[in-house]
Structure 1
Amino acid sequence: MSPGAPVLVVSRLDDVTADVVTRELNRRRVPVVRLDPGDFPAAVTVAARLDSTGLRGSARTPTRLVGLDHVRSVYWRRPRPYAAPPKLEKREGEGQAARWCREEARYGLGGILAALPGAHYVNHPWRNRDAEYKPAQLATAAHCGFDIPPTLLTNDPREAASFVREQGPVVYKPLRNTDYRGAEGEALTVWVEEVDAADLDAGVARTMHLFQRRVASVADLRVTVVGGELFTVRIEGSPGLDWRRHYDALSYSLIDTPPRLARSVHAYMETFGLVFGAFDFGVGQDGRT
Structure 2
Amino acid sequence: MGDQRGSVLVLTNKYDVTADLVLRILAERHVRVVRLDPGADLPTDASLTTTYRTGSQRGTLRTASRELDLTAVRSVWVRRASPYKGPGELPEQERRFAADQLLWGAGGILASLPGAHYLNHPWDNRASEHKPAQLATAQRVGFQIPDTLITNDVQEARAFTTLYTGGVVYKPLWGSRYSVAGKPQAVWVREVSEPEITAGVATCPHMFQARVDKVHDVRVTAVGQHLFGLRINSPELDWRHRQDLMRCTPIAVPEAVALSIAAYLRASRLVYGAFDFAVTDGGVWYFLECNPNGQWAWQPPLITDAVARAISDQLQNGSDT
TM-score above 0.5, yes or no: yes
Q: Deviations over 1:32-85 (max 9, x none)?
A: 211122213343321111112432222233443322212121111132222222
When residues 3 and 217 of structure 1 are mapped into structure 2, their CA distance, relative to the original with a 3 A threshold, is farther
State the one-letter code of the partner of 2:245.
A
Identical aligned pairs, as a percentage? 47
1:35-46 aligned at under 5 Å gives the runs 35-39=36-40, 40-46=42-48
2:263 matches 1:261: no
Aligned equivalents of 2:178 and 2:43: distance in 1? 23
- Answer whether contact 2:48 2:60 (CA < 8 A) is retained: yes
How far apart, in 2, do the equivalents of 1:279 and 1:62 lie? 37
2:178 and 2:7 mapped to 1: Cα distance? 33
Question: Structure 1 pair 138/202, CA: closer, same or farther in 2 (3 Å)?
Answer: same
Which letter does structure 1 place at the counterpart of 2:191? E
Aligned to 1:79: 81
Structure 1 residues 107 and 181, CA gap change in structure 2 (3 angstroms):
farther
For 1:142, the equivalent position in structure 2 comes to 139
For residues 20 and 288 of structure 1, the distance between their equivalents in structure 2, rounded to whole angstroms, comes to 34
CA contact (8 A) 1:41 1:83 kept: no
Deviation at 1:287, TM superposition (A): 1.3
Q: Which runs of 5+ in 2 are unaligned?
A: 286-321
Kept after mapping to 1: 8 A contact 2:153/2:202: yes
* Structure 1: gaps spanning 5 or more residues: none
Aligned with 1:141: secondary structure? helix
Instruction: Using the TM superposition, name which of 7-16 and 55-64 deviates more.
Output: 55-64
Whether 1:113 aligns to 2:110 is yes
Give the aligned partner of residue 281 of structure 1. Answer: 277
Question: Structure 2 vs 1, CA of residues 277 and 104 (structure 1 numbering), >3 Å: closer, same or farther?
Answer: same
Q: Which amino acid aligns with 2:268?
A: F
Query: How far is 1:104 from its partner?
Result: 1.8
Paired amino acid for 1:278: A
Q: Does 1:249 align with 2:250?
A: no
Question: Would you say 1:13 and 2:9 are equivalent positions?
Answer: no
Q: What's the secondary structure of 2:270's corresponding residue? A: coil
User: SS of the counterpart of 1:80?
Assistant: coil
User: Aligned to 1:260, what secondary structure does the other structure show?
Assistant: helix
Output the CA distance in 1 between the equivalents of 2:120 and 2:107: 14
Alignment map for 1:29-40 (pairs within 5 Å):
29-39=30-40, 40=42
Structure 1 residue 4 displacement after superposition: 5.7
- Structure 2 counterpart of 1:122, from 113, 119, 132: 119
Q: Is the 8 A contact 1:55 1:68 kept in 2?
A: no
Residues of 2 paired with 1:150 and 1:11: CA distance?
36
CA displacement, residues 209-250 of structure 1 (integer Å, 9 cap, x when unaligned): 1111111211111111112122212122x1101112232222
Determine if contact 1:4/1:30 at 8 Å carries over to the other structure. Answer: no
| 1:229–1:14 Cα change, 3 Å | same
For residues 250 and 160 of structure 1, the distance between their equivalents in structure 2, rounded to whole angstroms, comes to 31
User: Any residues of structure 2 matched to 1:1-289 within 5 Å, and which?
Assistant: 5-39=6-40, 40-88=42-90, 91=91, 94-95=92-93, 97-167=94-164, 169-180=167-178, 184=182, 187-236=184-233, 238-289=234-285
Could you tell me how far apart the structure 2 residues matched to 1:27 and 1:249 are? 35
Q: Say which SS state the counterpart of residue 253 (structure 1) adopts.
A: strand
2: CA distance, partners of 1:42 / 1:156: 48
C-alpha change, 1:9 and 1:240, in structure 2 (3 Å) is: same
Distance in 2 (CA, whole Å) between partners of 1:181 and 1:56 is 45
CA distance in 2, matches of 1:19, 1:177: 25
Q: For the Cα contact (< 8 Å) 2:5–2:72, is it kept in 1?
A: no
Q: Structure 1 residues 3 and 108, CA, compared in 2 at 3 Å: closer, same or farther? A: closer
Q: Tell me if the contact between 1:156 and 1:205 (Cα under 8 Å) persists in the aligned partners.
A: yes
* Cα distance in 2 between the residues matched to 1:269 and 1:44: 33
Q: Deviations over 1:242-285 (max 9, x none)?
A: 11223222222222210111111111111111111110101112
Paired residue total: 281
Residue 12 (structure 1) shift: 2.1
Gap change, CA 1:156 and 1:13, over 3 Å in 2: farther
